[in-house]
A = this chain, B = another copy of it.
Amino acid sequence: MLSRTEHKFGCEDCEFKKMSCLYVEPDSFEEFRQQSIKLSFSKGETIFKQGGKSGGLLFLHEGIVKFCYQYDSGSNYIMTIVRGPKLLGGANLFFKSVNIFSITAMEDSRVCMLDSAAFMKLAIGNPAYLLALVENTMDMFQDAIFNFISLAHNHVNGRIATILLYLHKNVYNGQGYSFTVSRKEIAEFAACSHENVINTLSRFRKEGIIEFHGKEIEIINIELLEEISRKG
Contacts and interface: CB of A to CB of B under 8 A. Distances in A.
Interface of A: 69, 71-72, 75, 77, 79, 90-91, 94-95, 100, 120, 123-128, 130-131, 134-135, 138, 141-142, 144-145, 148-149, 151-153, 191, 230
Nearest to A69: B149
21 contacts: A69-B149, A75-B153, A77-B149, A77-B153, A79-B145, A79-B149, A90-B138, A91-B138, A94-B134, A94-B138, A95-B138, A120-B131, A123-B131, A124-B127, A124-B128, A125-B127, A141-B141, A144-B145, A148-B148, A152-B191, A153-B191
A91 B153 contact: no
A94, A100, A131: residue with the most chain B Cβ atoms closer than 10 Å: A131
Nearest to A190: B152
Nearest to A126: B127
B127 A91 contact: no
Nearest to A100: B142
A43 B136 CA distance: 35
Nearest to A147: B148
- A interface SS class: helix
A123 B134 contact: no
Contacts of A138: 90-91, 94-95
Contacts of A144: 145
A128 B152 CA distance: 36
A165 to B, nearest CB: 17
Contacts of A126: 127
Nearest to A135: B95
Given A94-B134, A126-B127, 16 more contacts: A69-B149, A75-B153, A77-B149, A77-B152, A91-B138, A91-B141, A91-B142, A120-B131, A123-B127, A123-B131, A127-B127, A127-B130, A145-B148, A148-B148, A152-B191, A153-B191
